[in-house]
Amino acid sequence: MSKYTIASAEVLLVLPAALFMAALFLSNVQPEPYEPAHSAHQIVAWYAVRTYIGLWLFLIALPTVALLTGSATLLRRWSTDVELREATRQTCSALMPHLATAVIAAATLLAGVILAIVALHILTD
């Protein structure tokens, strides 16, 4: 599978959870009657009503798949691509040809953060 396909899949896997986390933040910024807090509250309410789809699929399963896939891809690319290792030791401009790998790394990191937030929330409730 190409790195661009994996990068796109990573973003799509993390997007629903990232939307939910952003909606949680925005719903606390302003009172609910005002925008964007009202729209954000609607998104949070949609997730809350659909426990299996919202919590288990969008907030746990998809980010877990993104984390595992991204980690495996990054480890494989890091161990086999000498040019990538050299590029990371250079400036950020040298990383531009490896933009898809950088997107995979960012999506993997985001998936890990989302899973940590969800796990802490589940453990404290």
**Mean pLDDT, each 10-residue run in order, the chain (125 residues):** 88 91 86 85 88 82 91 90 80 74 89 89 81
Confirm if 98 and 84 have CB atoms less than 8 A apart: yes
**What is the value of pTM for the model shown?**
0.73
pLDDT at 72: 93
Backbone φ, ψ for residue 116 (5° rounding): -65, -45
CA distance 24 to 15: 14
Q: Please report which residue ranges of the chain form alpha helices under DSSP H.
A: 3-27, 37-49, 62-80, 82-89, 92-95, 99-124
What b/e string do you get for 94-122 counting C-beta neighbours within 10 Å, with b at 16 or more? eeeebebbbbbbebbebbbbbbeebeeee
pLDDT at 91: 64
CA distance 60 to 75: 22
pLDDT at 65: 93
pLDDT at 28: 83
